Structure 1
Amino acid sequence: MTSAGLTEEQKRFYDENGYIVCRGLLPADEAKALRREAHDLADRLVQFRNINAAWATIQHTKTVVQHCHDVQFYSAMFSRLIVDPRFTAVAASIIGPNVQLHHTKMFIKPPEKGAPFPMHQDYPYFPHQRNTMIAAIFHFDDAPVERGCVRFVPGSHKLGPIVVSTPDSSLPPEQYPIEKALPCPARAGDVVFFNYLTIHGSGINASAEARTTLLVQMRDPTDPPFRRTHESRGQGMMLAGIDPSCCTTKALEPSGEVPAIAAGKM
């Protein structure tokens, strides 16, 4: 993988399936250094606050996942990573030349008790008018099935937004069992890109090693959110290109409901 972005074949795969794995986007030594940086950050954070982010619907499992929003404000290594041309070229292949940051989030699934993520779409948390939002998961260590790798329902982005009524906006497990989703195992240095409408989740880390990732959510800067939600300190930073709107793109309904047709209620 170079800074040239996705090939035509990779673009077709992404368009059809709603995700793509970029193998070896980072060399092993860089991934290892970033893993160490992530764990050092977690060690510092626990001295100041609780960083467990296990979902409400799986609290009964007694599992844990450590997290941190906006990691680029805690370490320059992460600041450099999210503007790395090897990364932004792929994002631009999907979104277009102008790539704007929505937020970042580090996750560490501890060994043997790393919490699962129920199946869900990202759409309910920050719906946008044109659905240009994508996510990327940097893998800083290997993520085989037993470490709770991400799983997808290929092509599910074509369903559009799905109405949900669970407290955490996850999908009903009886309709979307995580065991039926396609595992997407990854190696250290791999980066997975996916549409925010693609149904995804991940299993428990039952292995003896931690699973360490960085999630980056991005969008076209001219794609307005339906409402002000999930705002973050780093939101609006340009990772590639420019913001043609000069930061004038605002939420369509600052405090209101998402229109019915946009929420899949029609």
Structure 2
Amino acid sequence: MPELPEVESLAGFLREHAVGRTVARVEVVAISALKTYDPPITALGGLTVTGVARHGKFLDLDVDGLHLVVHLARAGWLRWRDELPERPVRPGGRNPLAVRVHLADGSGFDLTEAGTKKGLAVYLVRDPADVPGVASLGPDPLDDAFTPAALGAILAGRRTQVKGVLRDQKIIAGIGKAYSDEVLHAARMSPFKIAASLTEDEVERLHAAIGSTLRAAVARAEGVAARDLKSEKKSGLRVHGRTGEKCPVCGDVIREVSFADSSLQYCPTCQTGGKPLADRRMSRLLK
């Protein structure tokens, strides 16, 4: 799933390639991806892209005051093309294409989604806050207002695991499955530690890890073509998706905890005092 660093990079890519260009038309191939109908998607025709922003993991294209807001979900992606085919796309089959945005100079981009579980969401609204997921977002962790004190206030009183807090978009915006693993590894903290139990020093350590991890990922992705962002992200991860490999910090074997529809990766030596978390339901290592 694209997270804050990748969406920030996509926003930067579109600022360079799409801003100032006029929308010719938009093809909606997968009608289920389009979540709004007023204004109609056809209203974008003839308007100019004037800006691109990011709200958490939402991408926001300002098109002369209308906002094309995209959430790529688990398997969605944006693919830029310098030349788009003029022939209309035929829906159906296994075509991953969901939405195609044609620009007047012949360039444009495709919004695609692989797999059978469809979560890609496209909205056309007059205000980004009209998108429920944007309106409910927590603070952006790269905002100057996101200080150690602000993080401490967020964590105080929460009897939930810190991994879940980091992934909850209503609490902190932009961090998902992969970067929550990376942040907790950098903070040398168990993913199952209870948020409210963190000491002041641990809060400061976690805050520093959030900032350094996300900023490093944004820096690595800067200038990378949209088509290469997925592989760039994977190459920069130290623990997420690396079960069975050696931890780059201590050399211990990276382990995994599996859930019904998800998993997490961590280093026992760096994060849990050398004790493996064999199973979420059985583990009591968070005290």
TM bucket, shorter chain: under 0.3
**Which protein has the bigger helix share?**
2
Structure whose CA Rg is larger: 2
Q: Which has the higher contact order (CA 8 A, sep 6+)?
A: 1
